[in-house]
Structure 1
């Protein structure tokens, strides 16, 4: 199987290398539908759709000549930080004895494949039209994921077991089954919808730069797809997903350079809308149970203390990838507000500190810091371009949503949501590199190809 698969992937890479932009969009659209089904063999799922397709995309990038890009420091620093963190993760995965295979699979799905997606998006999103194309692909992806979740709730089927997970039943809210869409767990489902919602708002709001047909299409499709994705997030039963839905709407519509009053006015409107929904939802037993569940929060705080104890046992390199639960058995359980710790790190940062030690944790913080620097550079470029402003707001909303999920849930080892985040960051990186070349009034920059401005003939020096 290995030589046959390698030959097929290489041949496919030669085909899609002619147009990696279309190939990348095809992956974004097809991945939600094929993620649970394209797996071989079934007990181990060594070959999956994402692994095969993105490996072919990586080969296609190697086969094609890269066009010369401006040397943007913030993008280069972010790329280096990601590469360093990936190297640290890989080294710790290889040195995780007796569980090396599972650790390498986690590295492949959660780190390597998103890096490929980021590289593909960064290289191919070289114009405003292609930025909208990537956003449209994420919009279709999020709508497909939301519809799968909605139909799971309506018709009672599930795809979690096909994706390598288990069906999760919430005993605290009346034995309700958590929908997970095409993914293995509901956390990835909710976070993916949050990220695609941010991209949908960018596609919708950036249509003002086009003609009447584009505006009419965006006015018809944008609100509908956003409503479907928000409904899917509401059914995920995660409080952080509910909060992120409000945050994304607030930033996506209200965050604009030099328009603070717009953000304040929209914040008031979103708060009033949330209050209007909160009052009638008080009659729902499920909603009251979720909002009043303080034991869940206490259990997380207790687990964070356990994570610190695990880190103290191996402060430099950690206990190994995916070894938090195993190491937790050697630590006395903690109790906060009468609630014991749970068997999960419940935080990407706590999990990284415990499993990779100070080295991995510092590398992760470097990625966060360099990513913040790149988004600040995008914000400065957005002052002179309306499309940049909308993209900046969408990427900020998506990044904050990912951060909110990662603080209280272990999202870093999850591949699908990391790949969607990589698309958003790739769009941001490509835009920063585009806007570096061409200055406009006020020292800002404008999206578009670079142009050399010549001095008048009388001012030229021979």
Structure 2
């Protein structure tokens, strides 16, 4: 009773409290992964399951429809392909574990985020938690590069991996990229205070360094594509200002601080050398892509079943595929990590779940993208209200769609993908409608319903 009175006096605080469990999921990803870990589920995944369970119990007690029909359709669409793939799995255990993982990442956690985020304040709180996580992981990664305690890269322990360790080299790059996209969206928006936008811009500029030191080509490409889109959607004037700041920061980092090492330059050049002189990692990736495509051709509708790629890989891959990748550094002893996925989410789903699974999964993502962009135009039409949320949501989804060309789900950082899909779904299905409704409620009589312009009668 004593707690309820302060919450009634501060309704904004009461609407942000349900988001705190989701923030806890993000915060737990700052904990170091044990060196001997296999790279599977971690504490953040366990807490995310508890949050989902709490949300389900709460909905059952209230006995109300939690989602609109559109939201239920788009968020539940992947269940069809996932369920078929689980029934067609190579073993019952593989089907159950794969079903649980896919439902967690693409259905349950995103739906929970949609239900727990009440308004734009909760959205921004969760977005800022992603920025904070990126800052922490980035700081750890830069320290690893400077002190030579990171993951092994070309014989030196300099690759920045944050607290995720050498078994999840994409973990830090993913976390930093999400934080960079969120900070950029907040900086380009018009809803927050000037101080908040300046802080967000400074955070975005600072995160470029650890992203570069991650040596992750896929994250670089996805981030460059996303930031370009965010700048274009924010307007030409803002795009020119931010572009000039980014160029200045790159000049300082590369020319003044000497960040542009020979290894970094070589890594950047290797992006365009995928056909002339590819390294072994590129050769392995293309070989596994071809194997996944062949699996789909063998079973075009349903694929080879959930978690079937490792079982069928050797039967479809060519002799160019190596036995695994070298893992060393960041607290891990040298060992060979087997290549158990094609490192392409679309081909992984196509090979294991077939055309049905791919259409269900990607169809839902594209629908969310269309709804998010439509919400962004609505935000621009009402004077920029909610524009920061729109830019963050569109940026996160575009980054993930591009990055999935070079990566797939797996490892402790996967729960971040689920949270980001939830933020995207909230803006696409709830937030944009909230912005339009608030704008209509604030328009005086005799004015237009959205823009506030006089109605011509």
Specify the TM-score bucket, using the shorter chain as the normaliser: 0.7 to 0.9
1:322 Cα offset (Å): 2.7
TM-score w.r.t. the length of structure 2 is 0.73
d(CA) in 2 for partners of 1:46, 1:187: 14
Unaligned runs of 5+ in 1: 1-15, 159-167, 337-341, 447-462
Secondary structure, in 3 states, of the residue corresponding to 1:291? helix
Is the alpha carbon distance of 1:69 and 1:143 closer, same or farther for their aligned partners in structure 2, counting shifts above 3 Å? Answer: farther
Is the alpha carbon distance of 1:445 and 1:83 closer, same or farther for their aligned partners in structure 2, counting shifts above 3 Å? Answer: farther
1:350 Cα offset (Å): 0.9
Is the alpha carbon distance of 1:401 and 1:372 closer, same or farther for their aligned partners in structure 2, counting shifts above 3 Å? Answer: same
Is the alpha carbon distance of 1:43 and 1:199 closer, same or farther for their aligned partners in structure 2, counting shifts above 3 Å? Answer: closer
Unaligned runs of 5+ in 2: 1-13, 322-338, 453-457
Q: Which moved more, 1:300-309 or 1:140-149?
A: 300-309
Match of 1:391 in 2: 389
Q: How does 1:7-406 map to 2 (within 5 A)?
A: 19-28=17-26, 30-34=27-31, 36=33, 48-65=42-59, 76-77=69-70, 79-98=72-91, 100-113=92-105, 115-155=107-147, 157=149, 169-171=152-154, 174-176=155-157, 178-183=159-164, 184-206=167-189, 209=191, 214-216=193-195, 218-219=197-198, 221-256=199-234, 259-260=235-236, 262-263=238-239, 284-293=261-270, 294=273, 295-296=278-279, 297=282, 300-331=285-316, 333=318, 344-383=341-380, 384-406=382-404
d(CA) in 1 for partners of 2:177, 2:367: 22
1:334 Cα offset (Å): 7.5
d(CA) in 1 for partners of 2:66, 2:375: 15
d(CA) in 2 for partners of 1:123, 1:60: 11
What is the alpha-carbon root mean square deviation over aligned residues?
A: 4.0
1:343 Cα offset (Å): 6.8
d(CA) in 2 for partners of 1:260, 1:68: 45
Q: Which moved more, 1:276-285 or 1:185-194?
A: 276-285
Number of aligned residue pairs: give it: 400
d(CA) in 2 for partners of 1:306, 1:114: 25
TM-score w.r.t. the length of structure 1 is 0.72
d(CA) in 2 for partners of 1:396, 1:17: 24
1:122 Cα offset (Å): 1.7
Is the alpha carbon distance of 1:50 and 1:269 closer, same or farther for their aligned partners in structure 2, counting shifts above 3 Å? Answer: closer
Secondary structure, in 3 states, of the residue corresponding to 2:160? coil
Secondary structure, in 3 states, of the residue corresponding to 1:329? helix
Is the alpha carbon distance of 1:67 and 1:399 closer, same or farther for their aligned partners in structure 2, counting shifts above 3 Å? Answer: farther
d(CA) in 2 for partners of 1:46, 1:376: 34
